[in-house]
């Protein structure tokens, strides 16, 4: 897998964003209640937009037979097409956009980039949302969800909350949040006194053992009311203890 510099990564993110914007618009068209085929009249325009992005992506990924490639000079006039042909061109454009998104994401460490982006978002923004001293984990979870939503993330697509229930060693586990696109679960922990701190490591290690059976990445958001003295030591003992990709974010009030 090719390693990219920051400028190239930014270009890839822009291309993915453009392709996803087209996909979103096309999906909305597809889901319209209008039963007429007139809503597919822009199918050739979508083909042109797709091909422009695909051409720009060619410097990063090979445009092989898997990716649609269209002759921009020989595209039909949509007003000359039958309803069935409009639908066929529309579906071809949508499939091509989705394949292109998948290839761009798969070839350039998209999962790691998105994972790190969520890490940076939480580290930089979560504390500012919590104005009063929280009473429990749910308050932190609620603010975390507000942060996701305000950052443009969609529930059920980019993240979900309290879903993905599974059993491990006779116990039921339900992650606080999941990030399906990066195969990650997020657990929120709340330390309000020294007594709770002593049990936290054991609690986190138990969660790691269970969640690692289902998720490649595990993120712990530990909201601390002043009980953790050495953050680096606290994080290091957890992050280096397992083979999975584990992040521990300590947020101090």
pLDDT digits (tens, 9 = 90+) for 202-225: 889 889 999 988 898 899 999 999
Q: Which of 107, 126, 150 is the last residue of a domain?
A: 107
Residues with Cβ within 8 Å of 163's Cβ and at least 6 positions away in sequence, in order, are: 174, 175, 178
Question: Do residues 101 and 126 share a domain?
Answer: no
For residue 1, is it within any domain?
Answer: no
Assigned domain for 128 exists: yes
**Predicted local confidence at residue 241, as pLDDT:** 58
87 and 115, same structural domain?
no
Count the domains in the chain: 2
Same domain, 92 and 21: yes
Residue 1, pLDDT > 60, answer: no
| 30 belongs to a structural domain | yes
Instruction: Please tell me whether residue 220 adopts helix, strand or coil conformation.
Output: strand
Q: Give the three-state DSSP class for 58.
A: coil
Residue range 178-197, pLDDT digits in tens: 998 888 999 999 998 888 88
Are 97 and 50 in contact by the 8 Å Cβ rule? The answer is yes
Are residues 159 and 165 in contact, defined by beta-carbon separation less than 8 angstroms?
no
For 22, the domain range is 6-107
Please count the other Cβ atoms lying within 10 Å of the Cβ belonging to residue 171. Answer: 9
């Amino acid at each position: 897998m090719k390693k990219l510099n920051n400028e190239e990564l930014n270009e890839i993110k822009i291309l993915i964003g453009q392709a996803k914007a087209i996909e979103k618009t096309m999906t909305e068209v597809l889901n319209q209640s209008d039963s007429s085929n007139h809503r597919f009249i822009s199918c050739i325009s979508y083909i042109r937009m797709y091909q422009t992005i695909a051409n720009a992506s060619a410097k990063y990924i090979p445009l092989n037979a898997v990716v649609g490639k269209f002759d921009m000079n020989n595209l039909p006039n949509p007003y000359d097409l039958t309803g069935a042909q409009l639908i066929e061109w529309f579906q071809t454009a949508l499939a091509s956009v989705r394949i292109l998104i998948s290839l761009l994401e798969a070839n350039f460490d998209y999962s790691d980039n998105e994972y790190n982006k969520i890490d940076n978002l939480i580290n930089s923004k979560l504390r500012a949302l919590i104005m009063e001293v929280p009473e429990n984990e749910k308050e932190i979870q609620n603010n975390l969800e507000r942060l996701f939503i305000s950052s443009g993330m969609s529930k059920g697509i980019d993240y979900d909350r309290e879903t993905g229930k599974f059993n491990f060693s006779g116990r039921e586990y339900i992650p606080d949040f999941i990030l399906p696109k990066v195969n990650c679960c997020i657990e929120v922990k709340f330390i309000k006194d020294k007594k709770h701190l002593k049990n936290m490591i054991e609690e986190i290690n138990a969660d790691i053992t269970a969640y690692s059976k289902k998720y490649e990445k595990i993120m712990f958001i530990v909201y601390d009311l002043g009980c953790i003295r050495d953050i680096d030591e606290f994080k290091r003992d957890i992050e280096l203890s397992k083979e999975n990709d584990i992040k521990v974010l300590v947020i101090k009030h």
